[in-house]
């Protein structure tokens, strides 16, 4: 409890990062799991690409995204549970979730470029950049803790 009470305003920036990624990936993965299969719009968008020729057609590409998004949610939840927003925490799960998020954004961006949605791919470039900033902030906090 004492650890929780020592939370400073500086520590709270990590809660916002955790909640933002939990919300973003949580809602995305939940909607995909609730569909109960590969949505028709995914099949329409990627049905004419090389990914449709994979064994199982679009099963692997779709569920790779769903599983990775779900993993980000789980890692962020563990990060919050471990109170990794606190200054002295090692932020292992937060960093792992952010790095995994980078891979998800690369996958999503590739899919958008593959189908000619260059505006959507450009937006994902900004998501990727914002995630890098969040990762930079988390890693710098760790460096500051080591020098104190």
Question: pLDDT per residue over 91-128, tens digit each?
Answer: 999 999 999 999 999 999 999 999 999 999 999 999 99
pTM: 0.86
pLDDT tens, position by position, 37-49: 898 988 889 988 9
What is the number of residues in the chain? 148
Report whether pLDDT(147) > 60: no
Distance CA 143, CA 136 (A): 10
Which residues does 82 contact at the CB level (< 8 Å), separation at least 6? 89, 93
pLDDT tens, position by position, 53-101: 888 889 999 999 999 999 999 999 999 999 998 877 889 999 999 999 9
């Amino acid at each position: 409890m004492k650890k929780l009470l020592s939370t400073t305003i500086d520590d709270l920036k990590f809660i916002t990062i955790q909640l933002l990624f939990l919300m973003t990936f949580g809602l995305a993965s939940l909607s995909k799991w609730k569909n109960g299969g590969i949505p028709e719009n995914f099949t329409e968008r990627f049905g004419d690409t090389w990914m449709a020729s994979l064994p199982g057609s679009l099963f692997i590409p779709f569920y790779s995204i769903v599983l990775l998004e779900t993993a980000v949610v789980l890692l962020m939840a563990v990060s919050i549970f471990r109170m990794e927003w606190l200054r002295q925490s090692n932020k292992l799960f937060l960093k792992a979730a952010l790095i995994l998020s980078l891979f998800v954004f690369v996958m999503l961006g590739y899919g958008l470029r593959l189908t000619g949605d260059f505006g959507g791919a450009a937006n994902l470039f900004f998501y990727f950049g914002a995630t890098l900033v969040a990762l930079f902030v988390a890693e710098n906090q760790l460096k500051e803790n080591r020098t104190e």
